[in-house]
């Protein structure tokens, strides 16, 4: 029983290392998002860190329109980055989890 616990703890530590490595890698995954007309573009990492914003000069004349564009486009970028992030981390967590009775359905 004790050996099983030690083995399980080792597997959990390995899984934790894989999750950390995946988080590091997700810093290098850059997602591009743009408004439907392409006037505003945003680059974001899969860890949801904003890297760049490009604003077309035509949007600089209308503060309200620019604000609307920023909110819509940044929310789309964050949502997309979150999906990539969660999918990657879930795959790593599932692959690294020790087989604990009763936990099968927990990570599906």
pLDDT value at residue 84: 95
pLDDT tens for the 108 residues of the chain, in order: 566 777 777 877 887 888 889 999 999 999 999 999 999 999 999 999 999 999 999 999 999 999 999 999 999 999 999 999 999 988 887 776 655 555 444 444
Tell whether 105 is covered by a domain.
no
Domain span at 52: 2-100
C-alpha span between 11 and 33 (Å, rounded): 37
Tell whether 108 is covered by a domain.
no
pLDDT value at residue 72: 97
pLDDT value at residue 44: 97
Residue 29's CB: how many other CB atoms inside 10 A? 14
Looking up residue 63, the CATH number of its domain turns out to be: 3.30.1310.10
Full-model pTM: 0.75
- Are 68 and 61 in contact, with CB atoms under 8 Å apart? no
Residue 44, strand partner residues: 31, 50
Residue 34, strand partner residues: 41
């Amino acid at each position: 029983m004790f050996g099983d616990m030690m083995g399980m703890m080792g597997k959990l530590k390995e899984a934790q290392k894989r999750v950390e490595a995946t988080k590091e890698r997700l810093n290098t995954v850059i997602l591009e998002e743009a408004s439907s007309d392409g006037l505003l573009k945003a680059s974001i990492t899969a860890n949801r860190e904003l890297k760049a914003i490009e604003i077309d000069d035509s949007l600089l004349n209308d503060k309200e329109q620019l604000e609307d564009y920023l909110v819509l486009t940044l929310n789309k970028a964050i949502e997309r980055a979150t999906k990539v992030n969660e999918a990657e981390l879930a795959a790593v967590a599932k692959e690294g989890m020790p087989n604990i009775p009763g936990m099968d359905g927990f990570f599906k």
